[in-house]
Structure 1
Amino acid sequence: MIRSEILRDIAPILRDQLVVCNIGIPSQELHAIDDQPTNFYMLGTMGLASSIGLGLALSQPKTVIVIDGDGSILTNMGTLPTIANNVADNYILMIIDNGSYGSTGDQPTYTGKKTSLAGVAKACGCENVIECQDVDTGEVLQKAIDSKQMHVIVVKCDSGNAKMPVITMDPVVIRHRFMEAVKA
């Protein structure tokens, strides 16, 4: 499976949650598959979805799911020890690990070689770290939500991007409708 197929599979699970989605193509894919006011689409800040999601989880009680990528996590490795040391039981970091920088042309990342993001997360002190295959994502995600404990889920999948339209919604509108959804 590629990332867009995973997003299509888990869209019904995401619908009732606050979602912060990684920059570029992942946000475009989620927006095209199932746009919701509870989805915050990152349009230009690589590596910060996990940090923004953690801050959101620490500041309010609703479940926050961050959809991030291996490339973005690798550009902000400081996020994993921050997550480990600031536990928010309403926070789930789902790293879709396709072994590539998907939004910039599918250049390979080191997770396709020796680097294990699940291993890095555990070494940073994160608890409830699960590595799963793409086909198991929905089941693993639902169990994490039901547990009401912070999780880091590393989803191993194939590299590739679906052809999706660019998000034409103004970033100010995205932010406003998301903030209204957080308040609701």
Structure 2
Amino acid sequence: MRRIDAIAIIAEAAEALNALIVCNLGYPSRELFFIRDRPENFYMLGSMGMASSIALGLSLALPERRVIAIDGDGSVLMNLGTLATIASFASSNYLLVILDNRVYGSTGCQPTCTSRCTDLAAVARGAGVRDVRVVSGEEELRRRLSGSGVVVAIVEPGNADVPVIPLTPEKILSRFMERASSRMRRS
């Protein structure tokens, strides 16, 4: 499964679930924007390793909203502590999808430790996450997106040829906050 195809599946599910998405920086955010831009998508333009933590904070602040974090193996490896925090605090409205392509895709496809011996599903379980699944196909991924916990989706290395996101960081933030908070006020 290509990463862009996995992102398309996640975007479709998020729209159906009216979920907020916090997406990993670089090409994953660019691919998500290209596939299905929505104000409910927060595109990380910096802060590698923080998508899962930001999404966790949102899920705790907005317990009535479904929140999906899309993160990469390289980013999760930079912030392994997030898995212990997710294990301790995440509730049923939070899902972390780790797109494991075994490379740092946005910086030239250098191999990550998952290309050698690191098993992020085992690390998540070791950190205390109760619901961890590994998927490698599109149908498996679709079935897991309505749940919570951590999904490690094995995807092929490589980046889609998509343009840079034409929104400023301020615009990304303001439209995301407006959409997230407007749903909260109506609840």
Bin the TM-score by the shorter chain: over 0.9
Query: Which secondary structure does the structure 2 equivalent of 1:14 belong to?
Result: helix
Matched, 1:30 2:32: yes
Task: Provide TM-score, normalisation by structure 2.
Answer: 0.92
Kept in 1: contact 2:59–2:90 (CA 8 A) = no
Gaps of 5+ in 2: none
Q: Whole-Å Cα distance in 2 between the matches of residues 39 and 8 of structure 1?
A: 13
Per-residue deviation at 1:47?
Answer: 0.2
Matched, 1:54 2:91: no
Choose the corresponding residue for 1:40, options 7, 31, 42: 42
Task: Provide TM-score, normalisation by structure 1.
Answer: 0.93
Please report the RMSD computed on the Cα atoms of aligned residues, expressed in angstroms.
Answer: 1.0
Q: Whole-Å Cα distance in 1 between the matches of residues 172 and 90 of structure 2?
A: 27
2:108 match: 105
Per-residue deviation at 1:73?
Answer: 0.2
1:147 match: none
Kept in 1: contact 2:94–2:149 (CA 8 A) = yes
Query: Which secondary structure does the structure 2 equivalent of 1:162 belong to?
Result: coil
Paired residue type of 1:48? M
Choose the corresponding residue for 1:140, options 139, 144, 152: 144
2:132 match: 129
1:17-41 CA distances to partner (integer Å, 9 max, x unpaired)? 1000000110000000000000000
Q: Percent identity?
A: 48
User: 4+ residue runs of structure 1 moved beyond 6 angstroms?
Assistant: none
1:114 match: 117
Q: Whole-Å Cα distance in 2 between the matches of residues 45 and 104 of structure 1?
A: 14
Matched, 1:74 2:77: yes
Gaps of 5+ in 1: 145-149
